[in-house]
């Protein structure tokens, strides 16, 4: 019996038991869909964060409290010792080599008239903040150095704050209540969108001294440093470390460059990809076990058929090939359906979260599904091939 006849017999057997075939491939479909979906979410997350960080500029440095992987307090949290004086020292020592801005962040309830915006992000920054972080304004302007120094209560709001509090009415010049104090709106930032359910436009930016005084904050969330050029990032980072070490220890702060941040994110997402991909692969293995079990049952049910085919001249390798082809076809069909479903679901989720389906994930999923079919189809195929034709014909 040639391979074409064996293949035709395998397809005939699959079509003769449609419900059984459907249940057999279902496990593979679920496994492949899970692999595609989870990988697309993780790769999408990495792509989004990478684009966001790269959009800030290749010459940006972040000073954050505590050392990554450093010593922690008894409560398990690294103490924050960053102060405004540290930003002042950095600005003084770095001079024309870089721009420096201290940043504090809190959440607060915003009010205007009888309208309320709960849980808005409040940022306290310095006047040179737009020179460090690219902020596009839809209307108005950013606050000036003189307004910062005089602790003027002015603000730049996001698009969501505008919508929630003002609707379509005039905004510039209006006074918005920030946790009990009035701030005059002088600018509206351009739309920034949502990041995994967090609305970036539900925010308000205040002058640093005004925010610090209102919320009584003595510690900084971040210090942004923008080197004069991409080639100066390393020297500026080394110099900044020396400046901060005059007051702080190595465990009190971390200075991350864009390159280091992207490397850290890449490592984290790679681990997530492997972990989630491994979890999803378990579904494929379970599906493979299902294929093996159902194929073993099929061998038992078709014992007389196998005996008859052997009596008519079918060789053991023909019987073995037929059952192996059946298993591979079922797993391959499950892989194709799973890939299609995974891409469709990923596309739908992509409307709410960033998703990316890399080509390698499709190839990996399909290849693994085929491998599962081969591995778990071998045992039933060998068992069918070993059946004695005389005993098979007598089987009831």
The whole-number pLDDT of residue 278 equals: 72
Strand partners, 63: 223, 255
Sequence-ordered list of residues with C-beta below 8 angstroms from that of 59, at least 6 positions apart, any chain: 226, 227, 228, 229, 230, 232, 233, 258
**Under 8 Å CB-to-CB from 203, ≥6 apart: which residues?**
120, 121, 122, 123, 157, 158, 160, 161, 189
Place of tokens 């490592």: 267
Which position has the higher pLDDT, 197 or 141? 141
Q: How many CB atoms lie within 10 A of CB 70?
A: 13
For residue 217, what are its two tokens?
């904050």
The predicted pLDDT at position 124 comes to 93
**Residue 64 DSSP class:** E
Q: Which of 217, 213, 209, 220 is CA-nearest to residue 83?
A: 220
Where along the chain do its domains lie?
3-51+265-394, 102-219
What is the structure's pLDDT at 228? Answer: 81
Is the pLDDT at 180 greater than 80? The verdict is yes
Please give the Cα distance from 79 to 59 (Å, whole number): 28
Residue 209: pLDDT above 50?
yes
Question: CA–CA distance from 174 to each of 79, 156, 227, 233 (Å)?
Answer: 39, 11, 36, 40
Question: Which of 55-64, 130-139, 168-177, 252-261 is predicted most confidently?
Answer: 168-177
C-alpha dihedral sign at 163, 164, 167, 169: negative
pLDDT band at 67 (very low <50, low <70, confident <90, very high): confident
Q: pLDDT-derived band of residue 182, with 50, 70 and 90 as boundaries?
A: very high
State pLDDT tens for residues 242-288: 989 888 888 888 887 766 666 666 777 777 777 766 776 676 677 67
């Amino acid at each position: 019996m040639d391979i074409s006849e064996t293949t035709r017999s395998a397809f005939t057997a699959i079509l003769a038991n449609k419900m059984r075939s459907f249940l057999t491939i279902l496990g593979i479909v679920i496994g492949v869909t899970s692999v595609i979906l989870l990988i697309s979410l993780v790769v999408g997350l990495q792509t989004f964060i990478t684009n966001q960080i790269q959009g800030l500029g290749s010459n940006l440095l972040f000073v954050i409290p505590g050392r990554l992987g450093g010593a922690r307090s008894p409560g398990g949290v690294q103490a924050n010792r960053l102060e405004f004086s540290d930003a002042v020292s950095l600005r003084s020592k770095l001079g024309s080599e870089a721009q420096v801005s201290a940043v504090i962040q809190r959440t607060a309830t915003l009010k205007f008239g009888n309208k309320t915006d709960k849980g808005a992000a409040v940022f306290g920054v310095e006047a040179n903040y737009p020179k460090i972080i690219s902020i596009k304004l839809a209307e108005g302007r950013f606050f000036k150095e003189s307004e910062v120094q005089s602790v003027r209560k002015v603000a730049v709001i996001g698009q969501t704050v505008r919508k929630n509090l003002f609707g379509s009415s005039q905004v510039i010049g209006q006074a918005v209540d920030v946790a009990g104090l009035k701030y005059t709106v002088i600018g509206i930032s351009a739309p920034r969108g949502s990041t995994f359910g967090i609305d970036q436009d539900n925010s308000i930016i205040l002058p640093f001294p005004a925010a610090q005084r209102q919320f009584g904050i003595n510690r900084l969330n971040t210090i942004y440093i923008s080197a004069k050029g991409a080639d100066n990032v390393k020297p500026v980072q080394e110099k900044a470390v020396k400046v901060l070490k005059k007051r702080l220890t190595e465990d009190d702060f971390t200075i991350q460059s864009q390159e280091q941040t992207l490397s850290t994110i890449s490592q984290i997402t790679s681990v997530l990809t492997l972990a989630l991909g491994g979890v999803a692969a378990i579904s494929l293995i379970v599906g493979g076990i299902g294929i093996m079990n159902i194929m073993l049952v099929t061998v038992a049910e078709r014992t007389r058929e196998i005996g008859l085919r052997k009596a008519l001249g079918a060789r053991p390798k023909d019987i073995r090939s037929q059952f192996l082809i059946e298993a591979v076809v079922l797993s391959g069909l499950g892989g194709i359906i799973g890939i299609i479903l995974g891409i469709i679901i990923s596309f739908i989720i992509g409307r709410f979260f960033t998703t990316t389906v890399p080509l390698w994930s499709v190839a990996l999923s399909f290849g693994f599904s085929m491998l599962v079919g081969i591995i778990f189809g071998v045992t039933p195929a060998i068992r069918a091939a070993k059946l004695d034709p005389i005993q098979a014909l007598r089987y009831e």
